[in-house]
Amino acid sequence: MNSEVRCALVASPTSAAKAAEERLRAAYDFVPLGQAEMVVALGGDGFMLQTLHAMLETRRILPVFGINLGTVGFLMNEWRLDRLEQRMHEAKSFKVNPLRMTVDTVDGERFSIPAINEVSLLRETRQTAKLEVQVNDRVVLPELVCDGVLVATPAGSTAYNLSAHGPILPLGSGLVALTPISPFRPRRWRGAILPQSTHIRFTVLNAVKRPVSAVADQREVRDVAVVDVRIDRATPLTLLFDPEHTLDDRIAAEQFIA
């Protein structure tokens, strides 16, 4: 990479990503991650989430230019060997505020975990989950009977949220989606769109008989009692995209796919 911007290169362990990594290292100069100002991540959306979560854990947040060597690559740019320096110089940046999931378990443990795409609550057994849902300390659903429920960011609204028939949210909308997963009661409730400033609390009803797990992207906590979800504005993440194919363009395009 050029001398003006110190850039690190990270890759998923797949054969395609490792082969691309070899070609890029032969063509450009990269620095160790600890010395970098930017990061190029080779892989799929899952690897991008892993890279961003690693930054959140170390509290060293760098802009990330993802290159798709995976399957969907919604958060990634197209793979090309040439003009990488120019692409990164011209890239459009997007700020993404992650969610923060705070969990209290049945056994009294507490966990605080970030989520870039979504926080989901899921039943652990064949029995449906029964949840009380509060929004800004007001009970809005005394009993939601369902397979689960999730809170999705705009960046994550085209992932699990979309498969659960939740709404697609524009990146700059300042909203989150609250979407049920296979709801049984109330039967006609299909979810809500809420401001990002909203505090959402889920209380598991009869948590021992009807156990529920909570998942922040790829990290799971089992046998939860109470789950609080808020936007974490203290640690915004920066994703870089080619200007001709930015994340907001992709989110808009998803609304017209049959």
206 annotated as ligand-binding: no
Q: Which helix H or strand E contains 115, and what residues bound it?
A: strand 110-115
DSSP state of 232: -
Tokens representing residue 15 in the block: 């054969």
Q: How would you classify the pairing of strands 38-43 and 64-68?
A: parallel
46 annotated as ligand-binding: yes
Q: Which region holds residue 77: left if phi is over 0, alpha if psi is between -120 and 50, else beta?
A: beta
53 CB-contact burial (10 Å; exposed 0-12 / middle 13-18 / buried 19+): buried
160 annotated as ligand-binding: yes
Cα end-to-end span (Å), the chain: 40
147 annotated as ligand-binding: yes
Active-site residue (options: 45, 82, 228, 232): 45
The yes-or-no answer on residue 228 being catalytic is no
155 annotated as ligand-binding: yes
Catalytic residue positions, numbered = 45
Binding residues for NAD(+): 45-46, 117-118, 147, 155, 158-163
Binding residues: 45-46, 117-118, 147, 155, 158-163
